[in-house]
Structure 1
Amino acid sequence: MMLEDLYRLLRSSHVQAQGVVDTMTQPVVVLDHNLGVTTANNAFIKTFKVDRDDILGQDFFSLGDGQWDIAELRHLISAVVPRAAAVIGFEVEHDFPAIGQRTFLVDARRLSHPDDNSKNILVLFDDVTDRQRESAEMEFIVSETRHRMKNLFSVVRSIAMRTDTKNRTALDYRDTFLGRLEASFRAQEIAATNDAADLQVLLKQSIGEPDINRLYCDGPAVEISSSKVLPVSMIFHELMTNALKYGAFSVPDGEVHVRWTLEPGTGQRTYLRCEWREANGPPVGPPERKGYGSELIKATSAQAGGTVELNYDPFGLVATIEIPM
C-alpha cells in the first residue's frame, strides 16, 4: 500500500482503517499537532522493539533516547502541519539502539478530516537497508564485469595483433592464436580466484597432459603472486609451444628439465631463477629471424620485472628466466 492509498483510507475514517494499517509490513505512526504519538501499527512496534503503551502520547522525537531527533527530519515533519504538504522518501541513516545501523525512507503527510479540525500526521517508514546493499553489490558486479570485459578485449586484441602471419597458413595462425588465448584465459582464471599460485602447477598446466611424463621439475615450493601469474604462464606456454613444434617435445624421446631456485638480490628483494633445458631433441640452431614467440617471452618477462636469456645450444634450447618475487 502506497502512502497516498493509506492517506485516503485514514482520511475517510473507514471503520477498518486501523485493521488495515496493522496488517502493513511497513512501520506506521500517526502524530498529533504537537508531534505526539496517537497510534502505531504492529510493524512499528515490532521493528523498533518498543511497547505500545510506552510510546502512545509520547513526543515522537523523544522516542528511543531521541533516535529520531534529526534536525532536518524534525523540520520537514513540522512543516507538514501548517502547509498540508507531504514529505516523500526522506532518507534517514542511523544506528538505532535496538536494531543497529539501518537506512529508512520516511514519508509523512497531514491527515485532515472533513468533520473536525485535527491536524494529525501520518508517518510511514520503509526499511531500504538490504535493498541498498543489494543495489550496491549489483553495481559493483556490473562495474567489475565491464572492467574485466575491457581487459579481456585488450588481451584478445593484443594476441591477435601480435601473432605473426608471415609464411603462415590460416590454420597455423588459428591454432597459434587459440593456444595463446587459452593459456591466457587459464592464467587469468587462476589469478582471479587465488592470491598466489604454485609455480610447478603453472608449469605443468602450460605443458599439457600428453607430455607431462617427459617434464622433470626440480625446485623448492614457490608461490607466484596473482599479478605475475599471467606473464609466467605465457612464458611457459611459449616455451612449450616451441618445444612441441621444433624442440624436445617434437620427438618421442625428448625431455624437458626445469630447475628453479630462490636467490637473494639487492636489498631485501628475492629473485626466482628458473632454467628450462631441453634434451634428446633434434639439433638446435639460432632462428633465421626473430619470431613472435621469442619476442613475447622477452616482453612478458620484462612485464613481470624480470629478464630472460635464450641460449640455442645444439643439444637443446636453454632458457634462463629471472623474475623478482
Structure 2
Amino acid sequence: MPVLARSKLLENSVDGRGLAQAIVDTVRDPLLVLDKDLRVVSANRSFYLTFKMSHQDVQNRPLYLLGEGEWNIPELRLLLKNIAPRQAVIEAYEVEREFAGLGRRVMLLNARKIFYLESAHDTILLAIEDITGRRAIEREVNDFLHQKDILLREMRHRVANSLQIIASILLIKARAVRSEETRLHLQDAHKRVMSVAAMQTHLHAAEPGAMIELGPYLTRLCETLANSMIGNRRPVSLTVHVEDATASSSQAVSIGLIVTELVINALKHAFPDDCTGGTVTVTYQLAEPNWRLSVSDNGIGRPEGTLDKLVPGLGTTIVEALARQLDAHVEALMTPLGTTVSVTKGIFVSRLAASTPVRPDPGSCGARDLPGV
C-alpha cells in the first residue's frame, strides 16, 4: 500500500477513535473497554467521576486490580473471559460490594464483544449501572407491602370475631323476643351475618390481593347456609356447580352476598313445611369476559311464566345493587316447576344443556296450589 494511502487510513482511524471516545464520554453510566486479557483499553468520563479514579489509575490495568480490588470477582472474570471466544453476552449481572470512596453499592453489569473491521483484535464493552437507590426503594416497597398485609390480616381477624359476636347476640335476642315477626327478622339477620362471616373466613385464608377460587368459596358459603337454614329438619338439598373460575376479593364478596340473598329467599319461600325432595342449585358459568350466576329451585314457582323483575323487597334491592357493582343485570324466570334467578354480565350464551326441573316428591311443594299442574 502506498505511504500516502496508509497515512490517510491511519488518520481516518485516529479520527474515528476520537469520535467514538467523544460519543462514549456523553453516556451517563460508567463504561469500560477491555481487551481479551481484561485490561482496560479506555474508560469514559462517567467511570472516572463515579469511582473517583484518574486515567493513570485505570489505563492498561487489569479490571480485577482496579481500586482496592473490589472488581476482583472470580465469577465475573470467568464470564468476561468467555465473551470473546463464545461471542456471549452478560446481561443484568448484579454485584454488591464495598467500593472505595462510595461505600456499599449495588452495580448492574452488562457486557458484550465489540468487533473492529480494521483490526483483528476484539474488545469487550462493559457497562456499569449503579442501582443501589433502586434496590433500596424496592426493599422499602416490599417492607411496606408486608406491613400492609399484616394489618389487613389483623383487620380481617377482628372483623370475623366481631361478626361472630353480632351473630350470637342476634340469636340470643331472637330467642328472647315474644313477637314472632321480630323473631323471624332477627333470625334472617343472623343468617346473613353468618354467611358474611363464612365469606370473611374464606377470604382470610387467601393471600392478600390474590384471586379467589370461586368453586371452593361458594361451596363453603353454601355449606354454611345449609347448616343454618336446613340442618336435619327439612328434606331440602343445596347443591353447587361452579366452573373453574376466579374473581378478585371485592368481586367475590359481591357474588357471595348475591348467593346468600338468593339462597335464603329460595329456602324461605319456595318450599312449604310439608315439602319433600326440594332442591336449590347454585350455578356459576364462565365465558370470559362474561359470566352467569344462577340460583334455581324446584319449589312452588308461579303459573305466570317469565318475569323481568323480582318481587320488590329488601333482598331484591340488595341483589340488584350488588349486580350493578359487578356491571351485571338480574333476570328471574318463574314457572310452575320452580324459579331461577340469574345474574349475568355481558351477553352470555350457556354451554349447559337445558334441563327440565324435577318436581319434588308427592306431598310436595305446592303443586296442589297450582291448577292444571
Q: TM-score, normalised by structure 1?
A: 0.45
- TM-score, length of structure 2 as denominator length: 0.40
